[in-house]
Structures are given as structure tokens and as C-alpha cells.
Structure 1
Amino acid sequence: MAFSVLELKRWERDLDAFLARRRPPPSIRNELDVGYRIDKQSIEIVEIRPDWHDPGTMHERPFARITYVRSGSYWKLYWMRASLKWHSYEPQATTRHLSEALDAIDRDDYCCFFG
């Protein structure tokens, strides 16, 4: 089941605050940027870069996924390994609030998200 309109508005506020902290300076955003996309019960944080051969084409590469488990009212945090498979982020695999998951990504204690 997808997020409700009220949930989307609440979580977009948290996501926008996260992006305000993590986006690169405006002068280089056409070469590297950070964004998000929402699909059903998951939010993916993506890196946005132009294609090497066609700079007019932008590519989004997800590096973090936060999935809401409605039955338990908690969020699960994942990171993408070099194998392109999602793995649970063990230092803080679940949180009660989206903002806590975004803070874990921002801190990046194990250098899984930003290197």
C-alpha cells in the first residue's frame, strides 16, 4: 500500500531538510547532485550525475533505501553494496522515525553511503 497524502507531506519535509544538509554547492549540481524518489512503501536516496557520453542525459544511482513496515510502524534502512544488492545497515537497521534513518545516513558511521 502506498503512502497517504498526509504521510507524503510529513516525510517530504524530513527529506527536504536532509537534502538541504547533503546536497553539493549549487555551482556543481549539474555535475553531481543528491535527490530522492518514492515508490510504494520505500524511499530511495539517489546520486544524480550526467552520462559520460551524453551529458544531456542524467542518471540516478540509488545508494540508500528506507522502507516503511506498516504492520510494525517502523522504518528499515538498507545500503547498496558493490554487488548492486541491498543489505541491511547494521549499525541502525530499524528506526521508529524517518528522521532517525536520515540522520544515520547523514552520519554514515561505517562509510557505506558517502564513502
Structure 2
Amino acid sequence: MEMPELVRKCAEKELFSYCETKVPPCFRNEVRVNFRIEGETATLYEERITLANPANWSWRPVAQFRFQIELNQWSLHYPVDRDSWRLYLNAGPTLNLKSLLRAVDDDPFNSFWQ
């Protein structure tokens, strides 16, 4: 199921703004922070050039935000590996995606930025 269009547009705006501030412009040829939205899920990920071939980029998941349509709120999840996620219990579900982005940065457990 797809998230409502207005929710998606607001999420895109928040995530784009967040990604733009994470890496200084002078390093963006080596590191990028980006996101993708699929269905009810927004995934934040980091891209880096590979040492073996600087023309190639590798990526790793950073955080996942899941929108629950029935409750009209977001939940935050951290990566266990590339394809599985766990609910981040240090930040409860919220209507405010921006507060979950702050939780990603303020994480005392280093669940996101490793």
C-alpha cells in the first residue's frame, strides 16, 4: 500500500533537506547520503566510492522510517543487515518525521551511523 501523496511529499522534503546537510559539498565526490521511498517505507542510506574502483559506489542502509497509515504515524527502524530491520525502541512512533531524523543523529547506541 502506498502512503498518502501529501505525506510522501512532506517526507521527501524532510529527507532531502536532511541528506543535503549530512555531507559537506567538498566530500560529495566520495560520500553521499540519500533516500528512497517505496510503498509505506522510506530508507535512508549512505553511499561511498569503492577503493578498488572509484567509478563504482557501494551503499549501506542507515535507517528506515515506516509510515503506518491506520495510525498516521512514523516508526524508526535500524539495520540488522542489508535486508532486515529492527524497531528502534529509543524513539517511539510519532507524527513528526523530523523528530525521528533527530533520533538517528542523537542515537547513543550507534545503531545507525557506524
Q: TM-score range by the shorter chain?
A: 0.7 to 0.9
Query: How far apart, CA to CA, are the structure 2 residues paired with 1:34 and 1:114?
Result: 11
Contact 2:60–2:82 (Cα < 8 Å) also in 1: no
Q: What SS does structure 2 have at the residue aligned with 1:17?
A: helix
Could you say if the C-alpha distance between residues 95 and 4 of structure 1 is closer, same or farther in structure 2, counting changes exceeding 3 Å? Answer: closer
Query: How far apart, CA to CA, are the structure 2 residues paired with 1:20 and 1:83?
Result: 23
Q: CA RMSD in A?
A: 2.0
The aligned residue for residue 78 of structure 2 is 79
AA matched with 1:19: C
Alignment pair present for 1:18 and 2:18: yes
The aligned residue for residue 90 of structure 2 is 91
Query: How far apart, CA to CA, are the structure 1 residues paired with 2:52 and 2:64?
Result: 28
Contact 1:78–1:93 (Cα < 8 Å) also in 2: no
Q: Determine what percentage of the aligned residue pairs are the same residue.
A: 26
Structure 2 residue runs of 5 or longer lacking an equivalent are none
Deviation of 1:85 (Å): 3.0
The aligned residue for residue 9 of structure 2 is 9
Deviation of 1:37 (Å): 0.8
- Scaled by the length of structure 1, the TM-score of the pair is 0.84
Structure 1 residue runs of 5 or longer lacking an equivalent are none
Contact 1:75–1:98 (Cα < 8 Å) also in 2: yes
Deviation of 1:3 (Å): 2.8
